[in-house]
Amino acid sequence: MPVTETRGVRNRNPGNIDYNPANQWLGQLKPDPAVEKRFARFDTAENGIRALGKLLLTYQRKHGLKTVKAIISRWAPSAENDTDAYVRAVEVSTGTRSGAEINLAQPDVLTDFVKAIIHHENAGYAYPDAVLAEGVRRALA
């Protein structure tokens, strides 16, 4: 039986970012409701990872969110997610103590965080290290 790609991998949007016409993401494809009704789609996984990283950096810089719980609570609201389980999964994956402040502007911290979100959003999927590294590099550029 062939493995079905998750929606995030298929859309090259591994953070499952909602489509919003106000967001002019680099590499974002024109919306096509026949293909995808809700989420943004990207031309490459690297640009989807870039958008994920940029959003996380905005959460930290603009909204002052400094803990895994604060960031994930905004990223994955409890109305749609088991946010507590998501927070625990990211803390475990990144080796972050509950309640500890993190600095997503550090490339290794952002990489670990993005990798944990991709894993959670896409049923354990992991991109090759080079793809992940390039997406994070673009997010931090």
CA distance 99 to 54: 22
- The pLDDT mean for the chain works out to 96
15 has pLDDT over 80: yes
The yes-or-no verdict on residue 131 having pLDDT over 60 is: yes
Residue found under tokens 């290794």: 108
Q: How confident is the model at residue 32 (pLDDT cuts 50, 70, 90)?
A: very high
What is the per-residue pLDDT across 78-121, written as a single tens digit (0 to 9) for each?
A: 999 999 999 999 999 999 999 999 999 999 999 999 999 999 99
Question: Does position 3 have pLDDT exceeding 80, yes or no?
Answer: no
pTM: 0.95
CA pair distance 77, 92, nearest whole angstrom: 19
pLDDT the model gives residue 41: 98
Q: What is the pLDDT of residues 45-83, one digit of tens each?
A: 999 999 999 999 999 999 999 999 999 999 999 999 999
Residue type, 134: E
